[in-house]
Amino acid sequence: MPTAAKLMSAIALALVAFIVSEQVKPLLPEGTDFGYFNYVNSFFGAVVGWKLIGARAGRGVSRSINNGITGVLALLLVTLFAHGFWEMFENSLNLRYDTTAEAVQSIFETMLENALLLLNTNIIITLIGGAVFCGLLSEATSRRWR
């Protein structure tokens, strides 16, 4: 059932995903075609915010911060997997894999490479601050609009 807390969580986590996506762009190789990079990440942020953070709102401040952190970690896993899968899919269309196991393994290798890019101080601070912001916003929203 749609609630105001779910909506605000979706918007807030989509905003965090968009900001982090902009911070990641300079870290990638020059000439990278980003396409819908920000929008895909924001979409995943909205879905995770709606399903995970917003659904658990209204249980107290400390739990809301934990929900925000859980939501950001889930967002990271989902987006890393999605981008790893997409890269594997493009490589498989170019017949770069001999076996299915090699293709699946490349998803996780790509996830690890992209996760190492996120080990930047600005990105980590943004993710932690965004997690706390999303959790507290969902809690405040659930208390005000029931």
Identify the pLDDT of residue 32.
87
Q: Per the structure block, which two tokens stand in for 73? A: 């970690």
Alpha-carbon 17 to chain mean position = 6
Cα-based torsion angle of the residue sequence 42, 63, 1, 143 in order, rounded to the nearest 10 degrees: -100
In angstroms, the CA 66 to CA 146 distance is 21
The structure's pTM equals: 0.92
Between CA 138 and CA 146 the distance in angstroms is: 12
Q: Is 50 within 8 Å of 9 (Cβ atoms)?
A: yes
Cα distance from N-terminal residue to C-terminal residue, the chain: 12
Question: Which pLDDT does position 23 carry in this prediction?
Answer: 96
Residue 71 domain boundaries: 4-144
Q: What is the pLDDT of residue 116?
A: 95
Query: What would the mean pLDDT of 24-45 be, rounded to a whole number?
Result: 93
State the total domains in the chain. Answer: 1
88, pLDDT greater than 80: yes
| Cβ pair 61, 139 in contact under 8 A | yes
What pLDDT, on a 0 to 100 scale, did the predictor assign at position 120? 93
